[in-house]
Amino acid sequence: MMLTIRLQRMGKKKNPTYRLIISEKARDTQYNSLEILGHYSPTQIPKVLELKADRIKHWLSVGAQASNTVHNILVREGILEGKKKKSVRITNKRKAKIETKKAESLEKEKATKEAAEAAKVAAEEAKKAEEATPVEEPVVEAPVEEAQA
């Protein structure tokens, strides 16, 4: 029997409040829970969060797992040590789309770098070619004296 600590939605439409419950992982959250460990009201100002820390620690020590959202709440409140978990999961389709965008941006960046390097090399070659060609000095012709007839 795998136990999970998770949120159970309560409250009215567009005014949610949540219970922090412990139940079997396979069961629906609306099914009977083993124990209510606290409640959370995110819409009230200031947000209300009441937890039974000793009971939460007991269930975690017995082997219960916290959902990602509950884990983040417990880390924020200082009941658990560690980093927060990502609670939003990205679908494979979205991951593929993100990867293609990254690949395209890398290709564009690489192309612009290559173009900049090519322009730099061309400018250096033009400069070398200009230095290599001898510069002809303008010939100054001496003034011709007009012949007196």
* 33 three-class SS: coil
> What is the per-residue pLDDT across 42-74, written as a single tens digit (0 to 9) for each?
888 888 888 888 988 899 899 888 888 889 888
- Per-residue pLDDT in tens (0 to 9) along the chain, 149 residues: 688 888 889 888 988 999 899 988 877 777 787 888 899 888 888 888 888 889 888 998 998 888 888 898 888 888 888 887 776 778 888 889 999 999 999 999 999 998 988 888 888 888 877 777 665 677 777 777 776 65
State pTM to two decimals.
0.56
pLDDT at residue 143 in the model: 73
Burial of 113 (0-12, 13-18, 19+ CB in 10 A): exposed
Distance between CA atoms of 55 and 51, rounded to whole angstroms? 9
Per-residue 3-state assignment (H helix, E strand, C coil) for 76-107: HHCCCCCCCCCCCCCCHHHHHHHHHHHHHHHH
Give the H/E segment covering residue 119. helix 92-132
Give the H/E segment covering residue 61. helix 53-62
Give the H/E segment covering residue 57. helix 53-62
pLDDT at residue 123 in the model: 86
For 38-54, b/e burial (b = at least 16 CB within 10 A) is bbbbeeeeeeebebeee
Q: Quote the percentage of the chain above a pLDDT of 90.
A: 15
pLDDT at residue 86 in the model: 76
Give the H/E segment covering residue 66. strand 65-66
pLDDT at residue 147 in the model: 64
pLDDT at residue 136 in the model: 67
